[in-house]
Amino acid sequence: MTLSKRQRLERHIAGEQADRPGVALWRHWPGDDQDATELARSTLDWQQQFDWDFVKVSPDSNFCVEGWGAQSLWQGNQEGNRLYTAHPVRGPEDWLALRPQDPLAGRLGEQIRALSLIGRSLDPDTPFIQTIFSPSSQLKYLAGGDRVLAEMRIHPEGVQHALAVITETTLRFLQAMQPTGVSGIFFAVQLCTPHHLTRQEYQRLVEPYDRQILAAATDLYWFNLLHLHGQDAYFDLAAAYPVQAINWHDRESPPTLAQARGQVATALVGGLRQWETMLRGSPQQVQAEAADAIAQTEGRGFILGTGCVTPVNAPLRNLRAVRQAVAAF
């Protein structure tokens, strides 16, 4: 029996076998992501072409911090990421000056409009989720990656004020996007690694704000996916978060899919390398890696995808191979 997309995802979220593994790829839309109509159009075209089991809506990261003065531009990055050209936090007083944003104004409001366009045009059977950058990730965009860790340690009071303001703004945004029909959030966590913060620092400085947002998302939505970004992440900390699915760089950083299957009850999302396989590999390599990922999980509680965003220049034949890999299950 062929299940609907929501039925299939619900089976995998419950750790059960479905009619086949889930499958979804997502990418950035540089240039298009600066306009709500164009972002919606590109997102819908992507879904129409490949028929993924869910749609991840991917605005540029600046959408959540532009209201505080951050500026960025795209210079050809293969992931579609933008280079920040202006960081509004230059000293400790700038943290304290931050105030909550109106979720219906500026870039935040434009993103709500993009979600509304997608929700009205997408097949009702297809879940779609909005990218939400964690409060600590937004700190990085406000101060710059080279400075933010030092700021968290040297000016903790100002940073804690900023985290509270960012969290309040994000909570308002979660409420404001509900009428669009969105199914949940893709919660991107970027500093949960020993290369950024100690385990104790993360639990003390960052985790409380993550949990506030995820608690609200749990109350509002049925499909919330955690993306754990970076090498050697504190997987056990993130795996304890209240989400329905988790995505990490499983091919480059522990645990493997098979190991994670024994550690968490949530659906696992991944199995494909974004660079070696999706960008530089062949369709045969894509299908072999997909087959191995499905074998590691027995196709149960599993959604095939990349460990991070799909490169914007990945060959179409490789994208088609991903979709074909689950059809043959």
Chain-wide mean pLDDT for the chain? 97
Indicate the pLDDT class of residue 1, thresholds 50, 70 and 90.
Answer: confident
Give, in order, the Cα–Cα distances in Å from 121 to each of 109, 126, 224.
19, 11, 21
The stretch 139-166 carries a mean pLDDT of: 96
The yes-or-no verdict on residue 239 having pLDDT over 90 is no
Complete DSSP assignment for 104-119: TSHHHHHHHHHHHHHH
The residue segments making up the domain with residue 263 are: 5-327
- Could you give the CA distance from residue 189 to residue 50 in angstroms, rounded to a whole number? 27
Q: What's the CATH number where 76 sits?
A: 3.20.20.210
The yes-or-no verdict on residue 3 having pLDDT over 80 is yes
Q: What pLDDT, on the 0 to 100 scale, is given for residue 106?
A: 98
Q: What pLDDT, on the 0 to 100 scale, is given for residue 238?
A: 85
- Angle, helix 283-297 to helix 316-327, in steps of 10 degrees: 40
For the stretch 71-85, pLDDT in tens is 999 999 999 999 999
Q: How many domains would you assign to the chain?
A: 1
- Could you give the CA distance from residue 57 to residue 36 in angstroms, rounded to a whole number? 11
For the stretch 167-201, pLDDT in tens is 999 999 999 999 999 999 999 999 999 999 999 99
